[in-house]
Amino acid sequence: MKMNLKRVGFVLLGLVLILSVVGCSKSASDTNSKPDATETSGKYKAGTYTATAAGNNGDVTVEVVFDENSIVSVTVKGNNETEGLSDTPFERIPQQIVEGQTLAVDVVSGATNSSKAILAAVEDCVKQAGGDVDALKVAATTDDKSQEATELTTDVVIIGGGGTGLAAAGSAFENGAKVIVLEKLATLGGSTGLSGGGISATGTRFQKELGFEDSPESWMELWKERQNTSNPDSKYPDYDRVLTFMDDAVDTTHWLVDNMNHKYKSVEGYGVDPVARLHFPEAGGASLIANMEKSLKDRGIDILTETKATELITDDKGDVIGVVAENAEGKLIVHAKKVIIASGGFAQSKELMERFLPQFVEDIGISAAAAGSTGDGIVMAEKLGAALYEDPWVIGLGMGSLIPELRGIEWDTTKVLVNEKGERFMNENSHYAIVTNKVVLNEQVWMVIDSSEANAKLISSIEGQLPNAEIAVGNTIEELATAMQVPQDVLVKTMDTFNAGVASGKDVFEKEAKTLVSVDKGPFYAFKYYPKTMGTFGGVKVDEDYRVVKEDGSIINNLYAGGEAANRYLYNQVYMSGSAVQYALTSGRLSGEHAAKAVAEGK
């Protein structure tokens, strides 16, 4: 039942996203005289019209101005989309609609939902203005793509423009290499751009300036404690390499400020990680990417967006000598002395998730990983004989709901979680990666809350969603159990035991007293939650210099990989706060440096 309900839910959400347009109206501020359709010989009823359509994070409102024969302007007036990712569609699609007088406009890669929202809203405005929507959707017959491939030559070509790729580009350039970056999406950033941007490191000058004492030994102790909560049979982490990474991370943290136009707003702990070792930028991962991008552009480094790498080029010896890519102009061949794979993990690839991590495929729709995380570079390298890391896993981000209003409490560790049996199964005040690992082991997870004053605003926000298969309601715990379809006696015992632990301050799962909050005031609510990811552990095996290796340990000449394309050796199954972005940047910095120096030395 769980699987069927979720699939229906995703289908309905998709239909709403593509087709639904809500809150359409003609602008009250338009004071021009508007003739009826029968009174004009033009294509439209001249005037200003507005419409709203469902985007990725909420409604997108568009204003369209028409004269009698044309679309004069398209303006996005309001939205809740992710800053940075939505910038390109909000600028480009309105421009293309006006310039081409057409609705046959391609969505922007990596911002599909935002793009479709703009097009749906403009379509509604066209209807309001009496225009012919079908005619506007007919694309002009053109042959823009060149039949001949464009060829470029460089020292180092980097596949991917996220944290790993931009760090690699900056490092390779400052070590004397000519660099080209290929990014398949319209915007840079990848998963780093979507993250909080905090990077962990121990013993940095920034910690010392604030009076914080920290050491790799302290971080390593926590690292081992967290990894020991997961797969006892895993051969990872490789702790020698983890320790090397910790040392290199300090240099990267300094390098970003000294060489890449970056700065930190604060150094602090986070959640269940109280030690102040996370170095946060001013405005999350987006500002980290923006700072790095500016640094690269100031140096004149070529960054080609909406350019997807499709194949690694090799010579007759099997050495990598370039990349084949494609973009709007057609085929692109980049001849290079070194290639760095910085294209991310595979959390957004249904095919690769089914191959490696089938238990997470059903919930791929709520992943927080970047849209470009489809494992392209990993697959390209595998075709050349690259060894893949064993037993890949996800970078867990706790859990997620299908209902937007419930996403704000998914990290609330004071709440109570039960499974399909009506039983608690963990200490809810655990690291979010551990939460993911626990949640995926259960057929269905519910969060149970009561009607206390602390939950009043939340309950009010979801009342309009009822009835809903994702929400159960009951005036008593017995009624709630019936609505959840779990055994009444089990859920009653679970909640009685929990509330007794709240009263005594001693929880059966050893949950800290400060996070124990009773659940005893009806009516009661239960919300479905699902394991949520933000990336993957896996990729191709690399040596200490981030050179890609084969199963026999031999190097694939001229090929490097970093970030999520090569991160498995750091972890068992638990992500460490601030380490993924740090590893992206550190592996990018070091692979770029090694590649550039090898070019300079003729190796």
CATH of the domain at 459: 3.90.700.10
DSSP 331: E
Residue 21 reports pLDDT greater than 70: no
Q: pLDDT: is 436 or 80 the higher one?
A: 436
Q: What is the pLDDT, as a whole number, of residue 13?
A: 40
Is there a domain that residue 461 lies in? yes
Residues 191, 342 contacting (CB under 8 angstroms): no
* φ, ψ of residue 574 in degrees (nearest 5): -130, 120
Q: Are residues 546 and 503 in the same domain?
A: no
Q: Are residues 319 and 335 in the same domain?
A: yes
Domain boundary among 102, 137, 172: 137
Domain boundary among 533, 559, 578: 533
Q: Are residues 520 and 543 in the same domain?
A: no
Report the residue count for the chain.
603
CATH no. for residue 101? Answer: 3.90.1010.20
595 vs 218: CA distance, rounded Å: 33
Q: What is the pLDDT, as a whole number, of residue 408?
A: 85
Q: Are residues 542 and 405 in the same domain?
A: no
Is there a domain that residue 37 lies in? no
CATH no. for residue 596? Answer: 3.50.50.60
pLDDT in tens, 233-274: 999 999 999 999 999 999 999 999 999 999 999 999 988 899
pLDDT in tens, 63-86: 999 999 999 999 998 887 776 667
Residue 3 reports pLDDT greater than 50: no
pLDDT band at residue 114 using 50, 70 and 90 as cut-offs: confident
Is there a domain that residue 23 lies in? no
pLDDT in tens, 323-348: 999 998 999 999 999 999 999 999 99
Token pair 């379509």 is at which residue? Answer: 123
pLDDT in tens, 562-583: 999 999 999 999 999 999 999 9
476 vs 461: CA distance, rounded Å: 21
Domain boundary among 79, 106, 137: 137
Residue 24 reports pLDDT greater than 70: no
Q: Are residues 351 and 203 in the same domain?
A: yes
pLDDT in tens, 468-482: 999 999 999 999 999
By mean pLDDT, which of 11-25, 140-154, 468-482 is the weakest? 11-25
Q: Are residues 451 and 427 in the same domain?
A: yes
| Structural domains of the chain, count | 3
pLDDT band at residue 116 using 50, 70 and 90 as cut-offs: confident
Beta-carbon contacts of 120 under 8 Å, excluding residues fewer than 6 positions away, are 18, 19, 20, 21, 51, 53, 54
Residue 146 reports pLDDT greater than 80: no
Is there a domain that residue 38 lies in? no
By mean pLDDT, which of 75-89, 213-227, 485-499, 545-559 is the weakest? 75-89
In 484-504, which positions are buried (b, 16+ CB within 10 angstroms) versus exposed (e)? bebbbeebbebbeebbebbee
Residue 59 reports pLDDT greater than 90: no
**If you count DSSP H runs as helices and E runs as strands, how many of each does the chain have, helices first?**
17, 20
Q: Are residues 333 and 423 in the same domain?
A: no
Is there a domain that residue 340 lies in? yes
Give the residue numbers spanning the domain of 379.
150-392+538-601
Is there a domain that residue 67 lies in? yes
Is there a domain that residue 311 lies in? yes
pLDDT in tens, 207-226: 999 999 999 999 999 999 99
Sequential DSSP letters for 288-307: HHHHHHHHHHHTT-EEE-S-
Q: Are residues 542 and 529 in the same domain?
A: no
Q: What is the pLDDT, as a whole number, of residue 31?
A: 34
First and final CA of the chain: distance in angstroms?
A: 58
Q: Are residues 93 and 183 in the same domain?
A: no
Is there a domain that residue 515 lies in? yes
Q: What is the pLDDT, as a whole number, of residue 11?
A: 38
* φ, ψ of residue 285 in degrees (nearest 5): -60, -30
Q: Are residues 81 and 131 in the same domain?
A: yes
Q: What is the pLDDT, as a whole number, of residue 23?
A: 42
Q: Are residues 214 and 347 in the same domain?
A: yes
* Average per-residue pLDDT for the chain: 91
Token pair 């005619």 is at which residue? Answer: 135
Give bridge partners of residue 417 from the DSSP assignment.
447
Q: Are residues 492 and 545 in the same domain?
A: no
Per DSSP, helices labelled H in 463-578 are: 477-484, 488-504
